[in-house]
Amino acid sequence: MKIAVTTPLLPSAADEATARAAAARHGLPFAPRGRSALEDVRAAAGADGMLVLSRSASVLDLQGDEHRWSPGMAALRVKWLRRLRAGLPVPATRRDPFLAACSLGEGDRVLDATVGLGADALVAAEAVGPGGRVVGLESVEALAAWVAEGLERLCDPAARRVEVLAADHSDFLATQPDGSFDVVVFDPMFRTARPAPGGFDAVRRLADARPLSPRAVAQARRVARRWVVVKDGAPGWDLARLGLTPLASARGAHRYYARVAASPPAPHGG
């Protein structure tokens, strides 16, 4: 999919400078907007979609179907985590199964190998704290840029700790040293339809629908220092296909998690 970056209608100088800088950051063409309708800018750029950036919003336009990035439920999940850390009461129903599966600690390095819309990456960034690092991978360039720019505009310190890269997880994992991340996470969330906020299905059509491969899990186990976490929607068909056993979950859970220990380091020859 060919995508170009532009601005809202009648942009300020600051809006245009911000959008131009983002286009350069992601290696995408910039299309000036001025007073032109978005469909005219898209046609002139020869693009299939447009990333419309202002100083406060990241909007992905897919031929007139607009999707403004937002943290969604991740904002509430971060709020409850902060309450828990502050020693404030948190209802049992607010227990975060993702964090329970990952068991993240301060200073951890996390690789979210299928970052999607960035919700889990944002929660992980809060869990690992200022000394931690979260890298999110998205193989589709348009989605990677949209999410990265959305996080860039989110007024939350956790968002500053997430780096989104446009990369295929198999290719990226192959280049990483053994034990270079504490935890590697997979959530192939776009493969099956699930109840979600408006616009999610339209974005799903852009995502890489290839199933998670056993080889990718094996590479992730090498790259992880502690474990690999794989998320799946109920009834857990992908976990079963990969031979993974779900962790215990609440009755009626819509998400299942499996945790696989990291591979032991290869012995050094000598």
Half-sphere exposure in the Cβ direction for 47 (13 Å, CA): 25
Neighbours of 160 (CB within 10 A): 12
- Out of 26-30, 72-76, 196-200, pick the least confident: 196-200
Q: Where are the domains of the chain?
A: 3-68, 73-261
Position 114, amino acid? T
Hunting for tokens 């979950």 — which residue is that? Answer: 249
Rounded mean pLDDT, 33-46? 95
Rounded mean pLDDT, 74-102? 91
Closest-CA residue to 24 (of 56, 53, 60): 53
Position 227, amino acid? W
Rounded mean pLDDT, 73-83? 95
Evaluate whether the domain defined by 3-68 bears CATH number 3.40.120: yes
Rounded mean pLDDT, 151-160? 96
Higher pLDDT, 200 or 217: 217
Q: Which pLDDT belongs to residue 270?
A: 44
Higher pLDDT, 219 or 190: 219
119-142 tens-digit pLDDT: 999 999 999 999 999 999 999 999
Neighbours of 2 (CB within 10 A): 13
73-261 matches 3-68 in CATH topology? no
The pair of structure tokens assigned to 190 is 């776009």
Rounded mean pLDDT, 243-253? 87
Rounded to the nearest integer, the mean pLDDT of the chain is 91
Q: Which pLDDT belongs to residue 203?
A: 64
Position 216, amino acid? A
For residues 259 and 251, give the distance between their C-alpha atoms in angstroms, rounded to a whole number.
19
What is the percentage of the chain residues whose pLDDT exceeds 70?
92
CATH architecture under which domain 73-261 falls = 3-Layer(aba) Sandwich (3.40)
**Looking at the DSSP assignment, which residues form a beta bridge with residue 134?**
110, 162
Higher pLDDT, 254 or 261: 261
Confidence of residue 188 (pLDDT cuts 50, 70, 90): confident
Closest-CA residue to 101 (of 229, 215, 246): 229
Rounded mean pLDDT, 176-189? 93
Q: Which pLDDT belongs to residue 121?
A: 97
Positive or negative: CA dihedral 68, 71, 73, 76? negative
Higher pLDDT, 265 or 78: 78
Higher pLDDT, 52 or 190: 52
Confidence of residue 194 (pLDDT cuts 50, 70, 90): low
Q: Which pLDDT belongs to residue 30?
A: 98
The pair of structure tokens assigned to 138 is 């998205």
Is pLDDT at 49 greater than 80 in this prediction? yes
**Looking at the DSSP assignment, which residues form a beta bridge with residue 230?**
186, 258
Q: Going by C-beta distance under 8 Å and a sequence separation of 6 or more, which residues neighbour residue 263? A: 218, 221, 222, 224
